[in-house]
Structures are given as structure tokens and as C-alpha cells.
A and B are shown apart, each in its own frame.
Chain A
Amino acid sequence: MQDELKPTGKPLWQALIGAVLTTVYLILLLKVEEQSEVIGLLAGGAVLLLLLTKTGHLGGIGNTLHSREGALNLLVILGTLAIVGFFYEDHFTLLLIATVMLYVLATLGLNLQFGFAGVLNFAGASFFGIGAYTAAVLGAHTAVPSLLIILVGGVMAALIGCVLLLPVLRTRGHYAAVVTIAFALLFKTFLEVNDILGGPQGLQVPSMKVFGWDFNNNVALGDSVELSFYFSYIIVILLVLIAAFVLVRRVERSWIGLNLDALRLDETAASCFGLNIVRWKVTAFLLGNFLIGIAGALYGMVGGFVAPTSFTFADSLILVSIILLGGIGNVWGLIVAAAIVVIVPEKLQAIQEYRFLLFGGLVMMMLLFRPEGLLPRSVRRYFPGGAER
């Protein structure tokens, strides 16, 4: 434990190589179409990861980055930009990348609720859907600027979430679970039977427009290069995602994060030390739904279309699965898990249809044999690199 906090002396170049390799690997994975190649890449990647873990290289890089968090953040952003840049005119792949990023954004919100505060929410996809439908309705019927619509999407999700506040606050554990499950089922059924919101067919979502610039136009750079219109969306999403990541990270590394952990782990003990349970549960629930709603609004705009089938209970469970696979409460873990959960079924068409089944089974295995997840959350450090004492 002590070693982990000391600068390991491992030079940063190892981490740099790791980042470059990861980026190249992801580009390859996103590039190949042939199913046998996809399988080969996935298997190869898994084997390589196992080998590197066994030899301790992965742990070494992990430690380096753990103590050099600024470098880690920068590498991830640069890697993302490199991948996005590589696929600058490939609509399909850029949409896939945008989807991963939006899942990360949504699970950041869910992580506040479930990972930190222990407030169960099995209606994540519903709040995501509220954001998306808000974007559809406001975009089509009002002149509200797009960037504001994104915020309103978050606010709407938080507001409608308030309906559940009373039951969620008054119940614990399983009982709170059934309330959110009921809400998830209610929401989808409601969308299907409601004509105003398009019924089962759903609604078109107008594109994002900022200062008169329509995001659904491709971006021409000079005469020869034309960037996919998804490129602009991804830049906006990336900015929002960075802001949300910083926010969630700061929540974690503050007394608020401590409060949330304390109430998750032992409500009775926490109350005996003055912690206002209701205040912090509400904070986590609303803030979480706000982030999920924002992700949903962006999702609606990027996809240009929303329908009830995107916001089912199974989708909510996928969001929860991402948190569990990544390691409950670990913000880096959910990035890795979201990438796996979104990209693998999309590339490996054979399992596309079976994804709910497979991820359900995978999470069951995880809970039985490695309940702490792929990247277990480590002890809180209030400042990057450990505070000097």
C-alpha cells in the first residue's frame, strides 16, 4: 500500500508506450470489419493484458500513472483525440466513439448515486431517455439554444427524478431497488402508449446548432479534407465529459465524497456523527440524474432520433453492469467497462443480439468470483499524487 503512493521511480516513458499501444490497439479494433480479425484482436488483447499483468508491467504502469495523475489525464485525452482524428470521415465509427463517451458520462452520474452514495438506481436508462426526449421536444418546438437544451435535459432528469425522492429516501436497499425498477418499467410503457411523444415510433431530434452553425453539416478543412459531422459533436461531448469527470472527481476527493461513502457503508453510524443522510442522498441522486440527463440530451442530438426501445429496463441494467464491471466507485474503471460494453457487441456482430444475455452472465460471474470489479477502487486520496504531509 505504501509503495503505491510513493513515486515508483518507473519513468514515464513506459506509461507513454502503454498509451500509444492502447491507442493503436483501439484504432485497429475500430477499423477492422472482418469478424475473424475482430475475434483475433479481442483475444490477442485479452492475452496481452493477462501477460502484462503477470509480468507486473501493467501494475508498474498503473502505479506510475497513479502518482502522475496529470499525465494520465493528458494521455487519455490525447489518445481519444488521436482515435477521433484517425476516423475523421468515418461516420459509423465516430458515432460509436460518441456512444462510448455518452455512456461514460451517464455512468459517471450513476456512479455518484450508486458507487458513492449507495443509492440504488435501476432506472438509469429512463433518466437518460428523459434527457433525450427533452432535447427532441425542445429542439422541435422551441427556439431554445442547443447548449441550453443540453442543460435543460439534465435539469428535467433531475426534476422528474424528484418524483422518486420520497420513496427512495424512505426505503432502503431492496425496497429502493423495486421503486426504481417500477419507474423504469413505467417510463418505457408510458413512452410507448403516449401519442404526444411519438409512441413506439419515437421522435426526430433536431440537430445541434451553436451560433448559427448546424452540427449536422460536415466540416470542410481546405478543399480536400472533409470531417464527418460527428466530429463536431464529439468535441462538444468531450468537453462536457471532461467537465463532468472533473466534477465527479472533486466530489470524490472532498468531504462530500467522504459523506457519501460514509452513508453508503453505514447509515446508522454516519447519523451518529452528525451526517445529514437525507441531504446527501438527495444531492447524490439529483446530481447523478442531472449528469445522466445531460448525456441523454446529447445522445438524442447525436443520434437525431429517440424511441422507447433505447430506454428499456435492460438498458438500465447495462448501465449498472458498467459500474459493476469497472469496479464500483472507480471512475477510471467505468471508462474501461463502458468501452468494452459498447464497442465489443458493436464490432462482434455475432454477439450483438446476445449482448444483454452475455453481459448479464458476465456480471453474475463477476459478482461470484471478483466482486470488486476489473479495476477495484483504491483508498481515497484528496489530492492528485497524494497530499504532502
Chain B
Amino acid sequence: MDIGFLAQYLMNGLMLGMMYALVAVGFTLFFGVLDVIKFSHGDVLTVGAFTALATYLGLEQIGVTDPATQILVMVIVSTVLIGGLGAVIARTVILPLRSAPPLNTLLITLMLGTVLREAVRLFYPEGGNPKPFPALLPTDSVTFGNFNLRLDNVLMFGAGVLVIVGTQWMLNRTKLGLAIRAVAQDEETAKTMGINFNLIVFITFALGSALAAFAGVMNGLYYNEINFGMGLLLGVIGFSAAIVGGMGNLYGAILGGFLFAALQTIGAVALPFASAYKDVFAFAVVIAIMAWRPTGLIQEKVSDRV
């Protein structure tokens, strides 16, 4: 196996890691502000990808064919709508169950995930079949030996980095970020300091969901195909990445995302005979890591008060 081939895998792993990280950051944001796990997060991503696809088809209809414009509009429409969806979910599903046992939140978001997934399958035209996703980014490439560095991959990865850095900057450097962190630290104190708790929750859920939508678009552009079940794998691995990184820890989530991508990529290199089993392997890694470090590699704060 030569270097070029490995570089190809590396690129693949980085792209995968970026998508996982984007999803994991969402999980960790939700957990940070509300101590809840939103199991529908992966399916929100699916809805985001399909929204982008529908936007693309709409643009084609009205004659907008410039790829750059198309992508821009797709990303904006998808993130804004899905951000709104996230806020609506927080308002109608998450907040009403705040005083109920955490198990109920887990169950209701699992069911919400099913509803979203099924809604895509049933109500998107022929949603049960995989849908081709347009390759809108320039596919020019630079070749180093066997390794083909494609411009679209570089652009996507760069955009992902920008989004994550932007999120990070927003959380650490802006007033809004300060408010989010304050709520995550101590809800009661944040409230007494005059922070509008509900508003911060909505914004956080909108932000996390928008990140998922972005990851969904990225996924579509990268694989050029989306399907209604795509969010399940991304959701489970994104959640596991957030756990491994220590729930509520943003850097940990990003690290966790790339860790899972690395393991998956290594698995693909080491077990080339079993490319059909790549998803089986991915899920097995999740189970194994949970057995090994059930509370994450980076410890989360202990919350069980006796």
C-alpha cells in the first residue's frame, strides 16, 4: 500500500471526522445548557440535507444555475429552517418535559427522530429511495502520485473548520456566547442575572440544529447521495463522540468526532476485505468504546448528589 492511497484514506477520514464533529458539537451544546440528550439530532440532520436538496431543485426550476449561488442559497435556507425546527423542538418537546424523569426526554426525542425520519420517507417525493445529491463544488484536482487531492474536498473541509471555529468564537467571545455559557454553568444564577433562559435555550437548540443541517449538506455534497436513514448512523456516532469527549465539552466533542472517524478509517484500511461491513464495524466501535470508557475519555462533571 503506497502513500497516495493512505493519503486518500486520510482525506476521507478527515471529512468523516468533520461531519461527526459538527453533530457532536450539537449534542454537547444541548447537554451543556439543559442536561438533556436529544436523540432526534441525527434525523434533524437528515431533514436538513433534504431541505437543501429541495432548495436546489427549486432553484433549478426557477432557472438559477450558478453553482456558487446554489450552494449559498441551499446552505442558508437549510440552516435557517432547521435552526427554526430546532427551536420549535426545544419549545414543544424538550422544555415541557423538563420536570419529568430524564428517561421521558430520551424516549420522546427517540420517537421524534422516528417521526422526522418517517416523514422524510413518506412525504418527500419517493423519499424511501436514495436521492442523488448534486455535486456543485468544483471537482478540479491536484494529483500527487496516486493521491488525488480534490478541490471540493478541500473547500468542504475548510468550510467545516470555519464553522467550528466560528461557533467556538461565538461561544467564547460574544455576549450571546457568554449567556449560553452562563446558563450551562448554573441556570439559577444565570436567571437571576437577568438572562432570558428560554430564549437562550431556543438559540442554543437553533444553533446546534443549524450545525447539523450544515453537516447534512456537507454529507450530501461529499457522497452525492442522501437517504432518509442517513441521520441514524451520524446521530449515533455523533452522540458517542460527544460522550467520549466528555459531555458538555466542546473540544472533547470535536476530538471525539475525529477519533471515531480515525478508528473507522483505520478499520477500513486494516480490514479491506470487509468494506461491506464498514457500518457494522463503526457500530461495533461505538459499543466497544462505551464498554471501555462509559463516561468518556474526558470525565464529565459528577452530577449525582447524594
Contacts and interface: CB of A to CB of B under 8 A. Distances in A.
The answer on direct contact between A and B (beta carbons under 8 Å) is: yes
Interface of A: 118, 120, 122, 163-164, 166-167, 170-171, 173-175, 177-179, 181-183, 185-186, 189-190, 193, 268, 313-314, 317, 320-321, 324, 353-354, 356-357, 360-361, 363-364, 367-368, 371
Q: Is the interface of B mostly helix, strand, loop or mixed?
A: helix
21 contacts: A120-B106, A164-B287, A170-B291, A171-B295, A173-B102, A173-B103, A174-B37, A175-B294, A178-B240, A179-B290, A182-B287, A183-B283, A268-B304, A313-B232, A314-B118, A317-B111, A360-B112, A363-B108, A363-B111, A367-B104, A368-B93
Contacts of B284: 186
Contacts of A313: 232
A320 B295 CA distance: 25
Contacts of B239: 178
Given A179-B290, A181-B236, A182-B286, A360 B118 contact: yes
Given A170-B291, A181-B39, A268-B306, 20 more contacts: A120-B106, A166-B291, A174-B102, A177-B106, A179-B286, A185-B279, A186-B279, A189-B283, A193-B276, A313-B232, A314-B114, A354-B118, A356-B114, A357-B119, A360-B111, A360-B114, A361-B115, A364-B108, A364-B111, A367-B111
Contacts of A173: 102-103, 106
Nearest to B279: A189
Given A178-B236, A182-B240, A357-B119, A368 B106 contact: no
Given A174-B106, A313-B232, A364-B108, A182 B283 contact: yes
A116 B202 CA distance: 35
Interface centre among B37, B96, B110 (most CB of A within 10 A): B110
Given A190-B280, A313-B232, A357-B114, A367 B108 contact: yes
A118 B200 CA distance: 32
A303 to B, nearest CB: 23
Tell me whether chain A's interface is mostly helix, strand or loop, or mixed.
Answer: helix
**Nearest 6 pairs between A and B by C-beta?**
A186-B283, A357-B118, A360-B114, A167-B291, A171-B294, A193-B276
Nearest to B275: A193
B122 A368 contact: no
Interface of B: 37, 39, 93, 96-97, 100, 102-104, 106-108, 110-112, 114-115, 118-119, 122, 232-233, 236, 239-240, 243, 276-277, 279-280, 283-284, 286-287, 290-291, 294-295, 304, 306
A360 B102 contact: no
A176 to B, nearest CB: 8
Given A357-B118, A357-B119, A185 B236 contact: yes
Nearest to B93: A364
A357 B115 contact: yes
A122 B103 CA distance: 13
Most chain A CB neighbours (cut-off 10 Å) among B100, B103, B111: B111
A164 B290 CA distance: 10
A354 B108 contact: no
B115 A185 contact: no
Contacts of A163: 287
Contact of A360 (B97, B115, B306): B115
Nearest to B109: A364
Contacts of B283: 182-183, 185-186, 189
A163 B291 CA distance: 10
B304 A170 contact: no
A182 B236 contact: yes
A146 B96 CA distance: 50
Contacts of B277: 189-190, 193
Contacts of A175: 243, 290, 294-295
Nearest to B104: A367
Nearest to A318: B114
Nearest to B284: A186
Contacts of A185: 232-233, 236, 279, 283
